[in-house]
Homo-oligomer: A and B are copies of this chain.
Amino acid sequence: MLDNQSTTELSKLGEFGLIHHLTQNIEIKNPTSLKGVGDDAAVIDYGGKKVSVVSTDMLVEGVHFDLSYVPLKHLGYKAATVNFSDIFAMNAIPKQLLVSIAISSKFSLDAIEELYSGMLVACERYGVDLVGGDTTSSTSGLIISCTAIGEAEKEKLVYRDGAREKNLLCVTGDLGGAYMGLLMLEREKEVFKSDPKIQPDLEGNDYILERQLKPEARIDIIQMLAERGVQPTSMIDISDGLASELLHICTQSGVGAQLYEEKIPMDPMTFDRAREFSLDPTMCAMNGGEDYELLFTIAMKDFEKLQNNPDITFIGHITSKEAGVNLVTRSNTEHPITAQGWDALLGK
């Protein structure tokens, strides 16, 4: 796979560019490998009634979490839950979890038990068995790698590439809260560092703090879709932000989309805190990430089955590829959507 791009910097490629670069020449050879790299999870078909859906994620201390304000039990819960979210995003149900952790000597047995207990609470909550893993030492900090395995009937699976023109664009819950929770925690950490006598002032921010520290995955939506007989045409979970996820769906489906700013669901607390931080609330919802809500598309015929559900908001529709992926602002102007990520959001 070596080519002449020896001077290309990783930072230029970005995470998705790197994954694409590394995996673009991979050929799937085993008949059981139904779906490889490029969706929320891989799909493996053993020829039985159900197929197996597998997803893996790695969390690194100092990159994905800061133990100065993240309780270990919450971290364990979140590490498991974000993996389950990937399985739900395939319209599948997680059943098994494998957990590998690398720990440095600064951690006590109590600390590791806290981490594990959080994972086990998440497993209990979502009906998942912890079936394996690896425990090793680290020279610096904590690393958690989780692999979730789920099951689904093959014809019920939902990929990222099935969105079609005139499909409706739906999102669950509300967006931007996890990111505002993170900004609150970071701000109080800085205050505490400058003067340890000042106690953190987090009162009244429970909702956004919980969105950041203990997110839930939308098993309720997957169950509801099944009950109402709705098969989404495409689906992805919102880990990197609405903009990035919508671009994944549009790129892989070969379509465009119109997304209406005024429709994007936000909790009033998220909106108010964004204003306090002098941030555009819409930008927080578009690029904040870590909401673990589901973004999906449905055929118009299914609209009535979902229209009265308070957990689902219709935020736009799918268009032709040529029309592009656009945000229609409150002032009714159109802006092409780009995946800006956190750096752009923070003006870095």
Contacts and interface: CB of A to CB of B under 8 A. Distances in A.
A53 B61 CA distance: 30
Interface SS of chain A: helix, strand, loop or mixed? mixed
Given A37-B132, A46-B49, A130-B37, A147 B56 contact: yes
Given A1-B120, A10-B103, A114-B2, A47 B49 contact: yes
The bracket for how many chain A residues form the interface is 35 or more
Interface in A1-60: 1-3, 5-6, 8-11, 13, 15, 18-19, 21-23, 26, 28-30, 32-33, 35-37, 41-42, 44, 46-52, 54-58, 60
Contacts of A198: none
Interface in A142-162: 143, 145, 147, 149, 151
Given A32-B151, A36-B132, A129-B36, A57 B100 contact: yes
Determine how many copies of this chain the complex contains.
2
A309 interface: no
A49 B31 CA distance: 15
A10 B105 contact: yes
A230 interface: no
B58 A149 contact: no
A293 to B, nearest CB: 20
B15 A109 contact: no
B112 A18 contact: yes
A1 B42 contact: no
Nearest to A40: B132
A143 B131 CA distance: 22
Interface of A: 1-3, 5-6, 8-11, 13, 15, 18-19, 21-23, 26, 28-30, 32-33, 35-37, 41-42, 44, 46-52, 54-58, 60-64, 95-96, 98, 100-103, 105, 107-110, 112-114, 116-117, 120, 127-141, 143, 145, 147, 149, 151
